[in-house]
Amino acid sequence: MGDGLDWHDGYVWSADGVRLHHRDQPGPKDRPALLCIPGLTRNVRDFASLAARMKGRHRVISVDLRGRGESGYARDPLSYTPLTYVSDLARVLAELRPGSVVPVGTSLGGLVTMLMAGAGVVEMAGAILNDVGPELDPTGLERIRGYVGRGGSYPTWLHAARALADNQREVHPTFALGDWIDAAKRVMRLEPSGRVAFDYDMRIAEPFRLPGGEAGVDLWPALDRLAPIPVLILRGERSDLLSAEVQARMAARLPYATAVTVPGVGHAPTLDEPVAVAAIDRFLDQIGPEPR
């Protein structure tokens, strides 16, 4: 447990021997569980606020993808690919047996959500795609390739927060210093040396920098597998990864899709913004209880 939340930390082994970490916050059995899948360099801490809001409403399962947070680092860096993450999540879900789920996929987590739908890994009652789609804007991809895997460490959380603000001020232009400190604590860790460093394996950048490394497959057919279920497509107004045009095409392609733009933020919304909170609440309210 941690941060006052009623969650349990658990571990499952992947097919190639990587220890996979998840957090499981209990919830009503007659509602689908939320399966929270973070972005490229992120971890379960990104979903702590969402889990707090969902307490008593939905079971919340948050995962650390291999090479992030408390999950183990892979021996082969070329296993840091979305299709491998789908295989890993199948192991986690087989252990936890949540029934139907509503994946909440931020950025890379949204790509994994689409691939999971195509693979039939789990029954989905709905899906939330946070600032990601089957086509990714090259501007955002180049920005991400420019910083992922660069490493570096900082003497204090204040230094880490200021460095994060320098690199990402355009994403969250209204953040104050305290917000940046909170953001740093979500994506970084305190090392035994006392320095603050990013909480992921720097080698995740290796496959991502290869041509097509962001997904490796055409994702429009995978998106089509979400057609039978409600889908919430969130987009940051300032996003350089998901364009308004692609968001509109996604919504037109999915019969039960709702597209919402979160004002004033880039890639990706934290899901704590008032517009995002309201959209998620409305979306989950429309999803019925689990069949008995």
pLDDT tens sequence across 65-79: 999 999 999 999 999
Percent of the chain with pLDDT over 90: 86
**Structure tokens belonging to residue 117:** 């739908």
Element (H, E) at 9: strand 8-13
Checking if the pLDDT of 235 tops 50, the result is yes
Tell me the domains of the chain and their CATH numbers. 8-139+204-285 (3.40.50.1820), 150-199 (no CATH)
HSE-up (13 A, CA, CB side) for residue 70:
11
If we measure between CA atoms, which residue out of 130, 132, 117, 126 comes closest to residue 231? 126
- The pLDDT confidence band at residue 202, using thresholds 50, 70 and 90, is very high
The strand pairing partners of 147, in sequence order, are: none
The DSSP result for 158-211, as a single string, is HHHHHHHHHHHTTTSTT--HHHHHHHHHHHEEE-TTS-EEESB-GGGHHHHTST
Sheet bearing 19-25, strands edge to edge = 8-13, 19-25, 60-63, 33-37, 101-106, 127-130, 231-236, 257-262
- 258 forms beta bridges with 232
Write the pLDDT tens digit of every residue in 6-50: 889 999 999 999 999 999 999 999 999 999 999 999 999 999 999
| Amino acid at site 36 | C
Sign for the CA dihedral angle at 98, 56, 2, 265 comes to positive
* pLDDT at residue 292, rounded to an integer: 42
For residue 285, pLDDT over 70 is answered with yes
User: SS in 3 state form for 205-231?
Assistant: HHHHCCCCCCCCCCCHHHHHCCCCCCE
232, 127 Cβ separation under 8 angstroms: yes
Average pLDDT value for residue range 177-190: 97
What's the pLDDT at 290? 62
At residue 216, the pLDDT reads: 54
* Tokens linked to 114: 């689409």
Q: Cα–Cα distance between 76 and 207 in angstroms, integer?
A: 10
Write down the pTM of the prediction. 0.95
Percent of the chain with pLDDT over 70: 94
Q: In b/e form, how buried is each residue of 145-162, taking b as 16+ CB within 10 angstroms?
A: eeebbeeeebeebeebbb
**Is a pLDDT exceeding 90 seen at residue 218?**
no
| Residue bearing the bigger pLDDT, 216 or 52 | 52
Give the per-residue pLDDT at 2: 42
Q: Give 11's strand partners.
A: 21
Q: How big, in percent rounded to 5, are the helix, strand and coil portions of the chain?
A: 35, 20, 45
Question: CA nearest 27: which of 5, 46, 49?
Answer: 5
C-alpha distances out from residue 266 to 15, 93, 147, 168, 225, Å = 36, 31, 16, 9, 27
For residue 1, is pLDDT > 50? no
Summarize pLDDT for 112-164 with one digit per residue, the tens.
Answer: 999 999 898 999 999 999 999 999 999 998 888 888 888 889 999 999 999 99
